[in-house]
Structure 1
Amino acid sequence: MRIILAPMEGLVDAPIRETLTKVGGIDRCVTEFVRVTHGMLPPRVFYKYAPELHNQSLTRVGTPVAVQLLGSDPVQMGLHGARAAELGATQVDINFGCPAKTVNRHKGGCILMREPELMHEITEAVRKAVPAGVPVTAKMRLGYDDRSMGVACGQALEAAGASEIVIHARSKVDGYKPPAYWEEIARVREAVSAHVIANGEIWTVNDYWRCRKVSGCDDVMIGRGLIARPDLALQIKASQQGEQIPEMSWLEAVALVREYAEVLQGWLEDRYVTGRIKQWMNFLRQGFAEAEAIWPQARKLRDVAPMLACLEQTPETSGKRHQAA
């Protein structure tokens, strides 16, 4: 019954992985995708996206981190899978789920679900190139134009050697609009013997249990829900034991944002740090009434210090979590 932190390009970077895994409850993370094109990427690119490679592919609290690749050239994907393993990756994941227009336009991510044969070639090339002891896994949606390709693509990935398949319960055309079609994940799970992990629209403990029941999956991957509620994984783990623990307060969430900002300031210019904080804040609005209340003011700020001061001077207004619609 594992909980995996989803890769979210431009947001779930190494500092957020460190912050959220320190809160607890997360069993594994996946990096933002490393984009593979024609030439061989130098090691520094892998280390940029996965600095955990310097620590046996673990966060500081010991949570495993998989390196994710995105591309459509089987030869290059195989070479980069091998390079990731050489640099210390303990799991290589392949992105067949990204819905971004720029990614799809360059034949990466979810658009590959129109071609299960190519998905098979890519996965097989990575599996052959990566040492047998390193799992090769994949993340996909239910299809590109509609939700009809899930079974065919899942079977193609399994036949190519993928040991686990994460399925986001929507098509590319569905985007991120509710609902999530967990019942379609169940159809794929029943058609393959590879381990299937459910993903999509898990915002609360109740969502987690409903997703497990409908999809039939024991393991789930959570992205936006964990960004909005940093203690969601802990809450779920407590519920698995039949327990209930106090929810994270707004001031505790602010302390996490501050810690995140301090790490980012060692990497980026302040204006980029503020941008990352705003991205996180935008999700926190769905988890905390206080974040929603200060958002009109916070979104206008450009410097880190005023942004953090804005967060920290906000009294806890309700003590109640927002409930996702």
Structure 2
Amino acid sequence: MLLLAPMEGLLDHSLRDILTRVGGIDRCVSEFIRVTDQLLPPRVYTRIVPELLHGSRTPSGVPVRPQLLGSDPACMAENAARLAELGAFGVDLNFGCPAKTVNRHRGGAVLLDEPELLHDIVAAVRRSVPAGFAVSAKMRLGYADDARAVECACALAEGGAQELVVHARTRAQGYRPPAHWARIADIRRALSDTVLIANGEIWTAEDAERCRQTTGCESLMLGRGMIRDPGLALAIRAAQAGATHADAAPEAVDWPSVRLLLLEFWRQISWRVAPRHRAGRLKQWLSSLRGRYPEARAAFERLRLVQDPALIEAWLFEETRATTTLS
């Protein structure tokens, strides 16, 4: 199973739509929905996860699981029950966000110093939703260090989490390589009956295989690797079947095809993003694509100082016509 990671400020429903169109992803997890001290109205959920209005699936049919972030067991439970009422494809609980603002308000990775609270949150959520409603959680290896990684994972599983995604770094380690996959293997040995999903530093199909071999996890969550290379999930599946990345789906990974994805992404953000922010959103993704496509590096340099949406749009249509003609 290959999951698309939640990435606050980047991987929203528009990019979920685009990336799941390419293929290879089995399920998505949404950006976190912040829960503090009240039951949120349905419009908050559907603003962040509009897929809830369409069977909790992207337009290409891939399920989306909303993610909650908070520290109050009763309030988290109440909001999870609301998600069940809205027809969500389960609920995911965030215990991995490293953002300072979030952590200062007792959310995300800072809770990894309180395994008992982790257990209580998951247990309260589990009690509040129907028996068949999936409850999963995402964690890092710890906050300042990974000394309590296994203890935290066990607390989540004992609380009732059916699946557990482990990002193989502590909050203190941020996103600096390497990912410490061997620590996920320690959790795997302690939780043989829980679905464990490995996350962190999976950029290629070769990385995916090494991660599986090291962690003992068949399932993986892909984040920055999918943003950089929209064909990564297909490449991983092809490698398992003995094919190369190009053999898997050349139309999904070559630059002309990525240009069409960029154009569709631009169309979507133009419908809902204020003009002054549109160029930034497109360049944010284009910047990530530079790691995989030389053409993206050239495009980013050309557009780096451009803020006018009309100029961005003219460039997109001009280049798309050019690449379509050449192909």
TM-score bracket for this pair, using the shorter chain length: over 0.9
User: What amino acid does structure 1 have at the position aligned with 2:5?
Assistant: A
**Structure 1: segments with no counterpart, 5+ residues:** 317-325
Secondary structure of 2:271's match? coil
Alignment partners' CA distance in 2, 1:276 and 1:260: 9
Counterpart of 2:7 in structure 1 is 8
Alignment partners' CA distance in 2, 1:59 and 1:75: 30
Q: Deviations over 1:168-211 (max 9, x none)?
A: 00000100000010111010111112111000000111111111
Q: Deviations over 1:283-313 (max 9, x none)?
A: 1111111212232332211123322444554
Alignment partners' CA distance in 2, 1:214 and 1:77: 34
Describe how 1:179-218 pairs up with structure 2 within 5 A.
Answer: 179-192=178-191, 193-218=193-218
Counterpart of 2:262 in structure 1 is 257
Alignment partners' CA distance in 2, 1:117 and 1:230: 39
Pick from 265, 268, 277: which aligns with 2:282? 277
Alignment partners' CA distance in 2, 1:88 and 1:77: 17
Counterpart of 1:268 in structure 2 is 273
How far 1:105 moved relative to its partner? 0.8
Alignment partners' CA distance in 1, 2:299 and 2:60: 32
Describe how 1:8-27 pairs up with structure 2 within 5 A.
Answer: 8-27=7-26
Secondary structure of 2:169's match? coil
Alignment partners' CA distance in 2, 1:201 and 1:117: 29
Describe how 1:1-325 pairs up with structure 2 within 5 A.
Answer: 2-192=1-191, 193-246=193-246, 247=250, 248-310=253-315, 313=319
Secondary structure of 2:197's match? strand
Structure 1 segments, 4+ long, off by >4 Å, are 308-312
User: What amino acid does structure 1 have at the position aligned with 2:268?
Assistant: V
Q: CA RMSD in A?
A: 1.5
Q: Deviations over 1:237-262 (max 9, x none)?
A: 11121122425122211210110110
Alignment partners' CA distance in 2, 1:148 and 1:288: 39
Greater percentage in helix: 2
Alignment partners' CA distance in 1, 2:304 and 2:33: 29
Secondary structure of 1:32's match? strand
User: What amino acid does structure 2 have at the position aligned with 1:273?
Assistant: R
User: What amino acid does structure 2 have at the position aligned with 1:40?
Assistant: L
- The verdict on how the C-alpha distance between 1:131 and 1:261 changes in structure 2, with shifts beyond 3 A counting, is same
Alignment partners' CA distance in 2, 1:238 and 1:305: 39
Secondary structure of 1:266's match? helix
Q: Which moved more, 1:177-186 or 1:284-293?
A: 284-293
How far 1:82 moved relative to its partner? 0.2
User: What amino acid does structure 2 have at the position aligned with 1:22?
Assistant: R
Alignment partners' CA distance in 1, 2:39 and 2:18: 31
Alignment partners' CA distance in 2, 1:223 and 1:295: 21
Q: Deviations over 1:124-149 (max 9, x none)?
A: 11111111111100000000001222
How far 1:266 moved relative to its partner? 1.2
Alignment partners' CA distance in 2, 1:48 and 1:305: 26
User: What amino acid does structure 2 have at the position aligned with 1:125?
Assistant: A
- How many pairs align? 315
User: What amino acid does structure 2 have at the position aligned with 1:21?
Assistant: T
User: What amino acid does structure 1 have at the position aligned with 2:242?
Assistant: G
User: What amino acid does structure 2 have at the position aligned with 1:195?
Assistant: V
